[in-house]
Amino acid sequence: YDFQAVLDFVRMEATARKQIDLLNSLDTWRVLTEERWPRQNNINDCGIFLCLYAEALSLRAPPIFNTKFMNLQRVKIMIELLQSSLEEPNYDLSYYVNDAKKILKQGSRQLGWMPGVTYID
């Protein structure tokens, strides 16, 4: 992993935006890695990984998810966003399928990025 590239990007953006406090703190940043945590293995799931890692870090818990079920994770995140609340951590995502179907059937507006999918107003 090229963490230096990430730090260089943050440094460049902080410089462009004149974020002096951020620039001064970059030298204190630590890179933490955990080999047991799930790893992204494609170019499509970066947003889902970011959300799942952020959720785990906010709960002060290790991120426990299976990379085989990223579409179910997408559904879970969609439901949480539509309901404006986080679900309790549940490692069996199968119940999200039925919840998603109910939400999509009751919906009334098309999502532009997902043809044929609707959501509740």
Q: Give the Cα separation of 86 and 77 in Å (integer).
A: 8
pLDDT surpassing 70 at residue 117? no
State mean pLDDT over 101-118.
51
Phi-psi region of 38 (alpha: psi -120 to 50; beta: other; left: phi over 0): beta
The closest of 66, 42, 41, 32 to 52, measured between CA atoms, is: 66
- Model confidence over 7-52: pLDDT tens digits? 888 999 999 999 899 889 988 887 777 777 888 888 888 888 888 8
**pTM, rounded to two decimals:** 0.56
Asked whether 71 and 78 are in contact (CB, 8 A), the reply is no
Confidence label for 89 from pLDDT (cuts 50, 70 and 90): low
